[in-house]
Amino acid sequence: MIRNPLEIQDAVKKIRMLIAGYPGIGKSTLALSAPKPLHIDVDFGIDRIEPRYRKPYIQPASYQEILDDLTPENVKDFDTLVFDTGGKLISLMSLWAIQKDPKYGQRDGSLSLKGYGFVGKEFVRLMDYCFYTLQKNIVIVFHAVEEKDGDNTRLRIKVEGQTKNNVWEPMDLGGFVEIYGNDRTIGFSNCERYFAKGTRGIFGVRKIPALGPTSPNDFLTKLFEEYNATAAAEVEKNAKEQKAYEDAMAAGRAVIGTITDADTANAAMPEYKKIKHTKTSKRELDVEWNAKIKACGLTFDKSAKKYVAPAAPEDKEAK
Amino acid sequence: MSYLMTHSLLASWLYIMKDNPYEDATSTRDSYQEFLQTLRREPIPPTEAKAKGIEFEDLCYEIATGNFRPVWEPALNKKGIPKIDPNSGEPMGMTKYPRFYDAASQVADIIRGGQIQYKAKKLVEVNGMEFVLYGRLDTLKAGTIYDIKFSGSYDKGKYVDSTQHPTYMELIPEADQFTYVVSNGQNVWTETYRRDETASIFPVISDFVDWLYAVGLMETYKEHWKSL
């Protein structure tokens, strides 16, 4: 079914989110604040979560077990799948890949270059399956590690090899959890300390409210609601801007298409100037205009303020 | 008089600043020599990695603009004579695609329809000096500036400190984001910086100017980077 982009937001969008931070900072508890979560406790770390914040969970011993468990029937009562942690998930995925095909492994049991490629693709496939087929929110938790870069210390997600780049690709949001003073925060904007990912108005650093004896663990539930509320307005705004941009480009290209000589170029000028530009349409069209003028061999006479054709050889001789 | 200022020059300078503390700027380390070559606008022969990057970029552009034509290689018999299909009578052979073709196609899908190798310049004033900020954008399309990177050792966030997106965002005020499209020849990743995540390039230019004066290289810069 072909749909109008202005009508995209007719339902609550499912969200894919990555949470990273130091061990023990409360990432799992934060992840379980998402709506109706199923805790896929790959790390076997549920005992580190306060009992009142624990949610239904599975503790898969192999990646195949995860694949077997994540059927539409099994997860029908959940809105969110929390993978805790992503690093361990990828370790299980790596073992599974090597069992599947020995060429994905090396003698020491680590992944080969081909294996990294395969696991990266499998990760994206799993995320796509959870998102598109199962239609669930996804929250994936990663430990963070420090990396030195000159005088700077940066936080990176703890995953082996190039997989660390692939895990970011499908995510809508990615935030680093840190502690500032007594506050826990999650940052969604790129900064000197880490690479993060924010969209749909979820940017900057957010304070995570402290959990008291009676307070609900619902930070991500509220964040997802905010995301969806903003998303509707932002998608509409972006779609309008995109349409205005495409209209400007189409109008400009139509005018440029009429130019064949100096007369048509001069006739096209007022029409070209009338175009209402959005984003970078003016710069892009100006390149196409100049290319067409050049292709027609025209030059601009600044005093006459119009395009002129190069003088014919006989004219030159007459002069 | 105004002087050219490019992201490459700033990047070359920042590279030695990382390796080479301020007080040690006169050392003869390679990065410093390379910076001096850049400052004097002497050609630097491309490294193997750079050459690979250029090959990859060119392939992306060819595919994106519809100018790519795969090579058809005829099948030869033992005597070196092209084989003929006995059923159709046509010569037998196979279409050969260059290395990195799949990854380059993914990049081409991203940049297709944009203005490739868009040149931009802008007159700016920093520390009382006039500069012509100049950049050649890999692609400009619908409010996004794209830069293609070929990197064998890419980690997400690699370009957070780059002077490229701050420089280009200054050059194109209408752009709302800058996306690095990174490939190792197999995979393709994107790293996007919105305008609100992009620091101003002016403090970097200002520090560079101060440094040039401090180490006595300002005249060299002025001699080689005059804007015509």
ipTM of predicted complex: 0.86
Of A190, A280, A287, nearest to B143 by CB-CB distance is A280
Q: Is the pTM of this model over 0.90?
A: no
Chain B hits for A245, Cβ within 8 Å: 142-143
pLDDT beyond 60 at A89: yes
pLDDT on residue A2: 61
Q: pLDDT for A118-130, tens place per residue?
A: 998 899 899 999 9
User: Which tokens hold the place of A313?
Assistant: 């050889």
pLDDT beyond 70 at A1: no
Dist. CA A178–CA A26, nearest whole Å: 10
pLDDT beyond 80 at B26: no
The answer, for A120 touching chain B at a CB cutoff of 8 Å, is yes
Is A281 within 8 Å of A245 (Cβ atoms)?
yes
Q: Kindly indicate the confidence band of residue B21, based on its pLDDT and cuts at 50, 70 and 90.
A: very low
What SS3 class is residue B89?
Answer: coil
For chain A, the average pLDDT equals: 90
- Name the amino acid, one letter, at A162: Q
pLDDT beyond 70 at A8: no
pLDDT on residue A316: 52
pLDDT on residue A315: 57
Is B183 within 8 Å of B109 (Cβ atoms)?
no
Mean pLDDT throughout B203-208? 96
pLDDT on residue B145: 98
User: Which tokens hold the place of B90?
Assistant: 């046509």
pLDDT on residue A230: 84
* Contact criterion met (CB < 8 Å) for A282 and B174: yes
Of A56-65, A76-85, A185-194, A264-273, the one with minimum mean pLDDT is A185-194
Q: pLDDT for B65-120, tens place per residue?
A: 999 999 988 899 888 898 998 898 888 988 999 999 999 999 999 999 999 999 99
Q: Kindly indicate the confidence band of residue A153, based on its pLDDT and cuts at 50, 70 and 90.
A: confident
pLDDT on residue A5: 52
Centre a 10 Å sphere on the Cβ of residue A269 and count the other Cβ atoms it contains: 17
The answer, for B153 touching chain A at a CB cutoff of 8 Å, is no
Q: Which of residues 253-292 of A touch B (CB under 8 A)?
A: 279-284, 287-288
